[in-house]
Amino acid sequence: MAVHGGTTRAMPKTDDPELACPVSPVVDIVFSRWTTPILWALHTYGRQRFVELERRITRITPKVLTERLRRLERDGLVIRTYHPEVPPRVEYEISDLGRSLAPLFAHLTEWAEENLPKVEEARRAHDAGPV
């Protein structure tokens, strides 16, 4: 049993850390490549069309952006709205569920500001060490 925020939850009975770790599914959903830039853009700039996202996230290909948006929509983090006009218009916005990740990203930002210099220092020390 594990206690999280005052509630007790039964942990999976397995010796496999990947299956036992309650954070793994969240990391798979939220921190896969391109997910955080898409969510950040939608959170920061609001509802956007595909081409607007494509312009903001310059290094993503249209194919990957389409795939990632579909996955985020399936996971409930992004809302896709189709407007049946001529020409058709599709807009994407972050959902309430997606917005609920804001505190997590804020904590990660704080951690990054405080600790990334330490990570860089550790990397330099490791790389300069004996082979």
pLDDT in tens, 7-37: 555 555 667 776 778 888 888 888 888 999 9
Q: Is residue 117 part of a domain?
A: no
- pTM beyond 0.85: no
More confident residue, 13 or 99: 99
Q: Is residue 55 part of a domain?
A: yes
Q: Is residue 81 part of a domain?
A: yes
* H or E stretch at 9: strand 7-9
C-alpha atoms less than 13 angstroms from C-alpha of 41 in its C-beta half-sphere = 21
Q: Is residue 106 part of a domain?
A: no
Number of domains making up the chain: 1
How many CB atoms sit inside 10 A of residue 61's CB? 10
Q: Count Cβ atoms within 10 A of the Cβ of residue 99 and give its class: 0-12 exposed, 13-18 middle, 19 or more buried.
A: middle
3 pLDDT above the threshold of 50: no
Q: Could you tell me the CATH number of the domain that includes residue 23?
A: 1.10.10.10
Q: Is residue 114 part of a domain?
A: no
Q: Is residue 3 part of a domain?
A: no
Amino acid at 72: L
How many CB atoms sit inside 10 A of residue 39's CB? 22
Task: For residue 83, report the phi and psi dihedrals to the nearest 5 degrees.
Answer: -110, 110
pLDDT in tens, 37-48: 999 999 999 999
Host domain of residue 68: 18-100
